[in-house]
């Protein structure tokens, strides 16, 4: 399991980032809130949640271990897959999500 990547941003768009780690490019799915803060050529440290399926290994990247934990907790909710969890975290940060859950806001 890959838990963390440190390297230079080789490419990025709103949903994914390629992190160059010593010449190997890792494709990492990131929330828009993370992707917006990344700059091509700059060094980054991403905390990774690895999803292994029969046909793919997908990496999801976050700037803090707490954000990664929030993503993994969202994935445990019935009916919430990794894409939905990533979408939620693209719309609000961890503190906003925790506040919405605590206040039982839809």
**pLDDT tops 80 at residue 106:** no
pTM score of the predicted model: 0.87
- C-alpha torsion sign, points 49, 8, 40, 11: negative
**pLDDT tops 90 at residue 95:** no
C-alpha 34/C-alpha 59 separation (Å) is 14
At 5-34, the pLDDT tens digits run 999 999 998 889 999 999 999 999 999 888
At 31-87, the pLDDT tens digits run 988 888 899 999 999 999 999 989 999 999 999 999 999 999 888 888 888 888 888
């Amino acid at each position: 399991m890959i838990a963390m990547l440190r390297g230079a941003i080789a490419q990025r768009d709103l949903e994914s980032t390629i992190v160059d780690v010593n010449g190997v490019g890792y494709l990492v799915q990131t929330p828009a809130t993370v992707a917006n803060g990344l700059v091509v050529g700059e060094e980054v440290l991403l905390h990774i949640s690895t999803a292994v399926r029969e046909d793919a290994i997908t990496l999801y990247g976050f700037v803090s271990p707490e954000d990664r934990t929030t993503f993994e907790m969202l994935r445990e909710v019935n009916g919430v897959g990794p894409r939905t969890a990533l979408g939620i975290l693209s719309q609000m940060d961890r503190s906003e999500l925790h506040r919405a859950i605590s206040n039982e806001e839809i």
